[in-house]
Structures are given as structure tokens and as C-alpha cells.
Amino acid sequence: MNAKKVSRTVEWSRRGEKQLKLILQEVQKSAALLRLGGLKSGSAPPGKNRSLQVELSLLGNAKMAELNETYRGKPVPTDVLSFPSPPIFRQQGLLGELLICLPVLRRQAKDRKHPEATELQVLLVHGVLHLLELDHERGDAEAAEMAKWETHLLKKLGVKIGPRTVSGLIERTADPSAGNEEPRGQGPLKRGATQLRKNPSKRWTVESP
């Protein structure tokens, strides 16, 4: 990997870490989101005695297509895949793993005519909500609930939401000009903890303060 690619990787790592920390902080502030994710604050307030952690990996087209075929039967790259931790680990604040495909992110940002940094926020928000076990595939009611939380969290990140600006991935699904590599529709996926440790990608752990 040349120096320019290394520099870009570090830049994306910093962007992702910063935005993911902000998202996790907002999750911790919301009793409703904690409840939806099966996280109990109770005697251990999440902002004090327990942090939330997410494994985040940045992938290229080939690796994302391989994983998308393995877990969803679709041999094409997608924008984001989510792998929630089992409930026993989620109760300890270990939410799971997110995989983001940088080439798809860049293309979707270009198609939607907004900054790549904004598309990163959209994908991270969508992925974190899946880690909290929200799933738009379970019906219209849950899709509407998840879309509502996408909008809520994006606004908290300072993203201007609107039909001519930015929308969450669920609202984007109904837009034929979305320009996704494939139609959105991926719910939270399952794979073993051992497999999570074997992903040979650029990866780091993000923990809320």
C-alpha cells in the first residue's frame, strides 16, 4: 500500500471513529433506543458504568461482494452489513460489527450529490440501528420505526434532512434514483464470534466514552 493510500485509510478511520462515537453517545442518551435494543440502563447507567462498543471494518468491493454472497447469497458489493452480538454480549455493551464498503460509499455519495462524509454518517446510523436489532424487513411498522430513528440520529449529527438533501437508507429505498449497488433490504445478520475475529480488513474498535 503506497503512502497516499495509507493516508486515506487513516483519514477514513478518523472520520468513522469520530462519527460512530457520536452515534453511540446519542444511543446512550435515549432510553427508548436502549429499550428497543434490549439494553437496560437500570442500576448501571450506560453513560457512566458501561460503554457501548462496535467493531468497524472498511472493505473494498471484492471483499464486500464475497461476504455479501456468503451471508446473503448476493455476489455483489453492498454499502453496509451489520452483525449484532448475541444478547448476552450486547448487555455488556458489545453491540457487534459493522462492515462498510468504501467504493460503494463513494459512488452513492456521488449519485446523491452530497459529501462522502455525509454518506458515511448515513451508513453508520443505519448499521448501528441494525446492531440494536431494529429490522425494516419485519414489516411496515418496524420499517417506519427504524426510518424515524435514522432521521433522529442523523439530525443529532447535524445532517440536514429533506427530499432534496439527505435521507436515511430506508426512505431512500423508495427512491428509484438512489443508485445503490443493489436494492436495500438487509436486516441484521448472524455469524459466530470466531468469524468476527478473522476478517482481514482495516478494522478498529470504537468505544463511547
Residue 127 lies in a domain: yes
Residue 6 lies in a domain: no
Residue 42 lies in a domain: yes
User: How far apart are the C-alpha atoms of 96 and 12, rounded to whole Å?
Assistant: 20
pLDDT in tens, 24-68: 999 999 999 988 888 865 434 444 456 899 999 999 999 999 999
The number of domains in the chain is: 1
Residue 1 lies in a domain: no
What confidence category does residue 206 fall into, taking pLDDT thresholds of 50, 70 and 90?
low
Domain range for 64 = 11-207
Mean pLDDT lowest for which of 87-101, 131-145, 163-177, 190-204?
190-204
Residue 3 lies in a domain: no
User: How far apart are the C-alpha atoms of 141 and 48, rounded to whole Å?
Assistant: 33
Residue 4 lies in a domain: no
CB atoms within 10 A of CB 175: 12
Q: Nine-digit cell at 23? A: 452515534
Query: Residue 134: exposed, middle, or buried by beta-carbon count in 10 A (0-12, 13-18, 19+)?
Result: buried
Residue 187 reports pLDDT greater than 90: no
pTM across the whole model: 0.81
pLDDT in tens, 132-160: 988 776 667 878 888 999 999 999 999 98
Task: Give the position of cell 455483489.
Answer: 76
Residue 183 lies in a domain: yes
Q: Nine-digit cell at 159? A: 445532517
pLDDT in tens, 55-108: 999 999 999 999 999 999 999 999 999 999 988 888 888 999 999 999 999 999
* pLDDT on residue 171: 80
How many secondary structure helices (H) and strands (E) does the chain include?
A: 9, 4
User: How far apart are the C-alpha atoms of 26 and 132, rounded to whole Å?
Assistant: 13
Residue 130 lies in a domain: yes
CATH number for the domain including 29? 3.40.390.30
User: How far apart are the C-alpha atoms of 157 and 151, rounded to whole Å?
Assistant: 10
Query: Residue 3: exposed, middle, or buried by beta-carbon count in 10 A (0-12, 13-18, 19+)?
Result: exposed
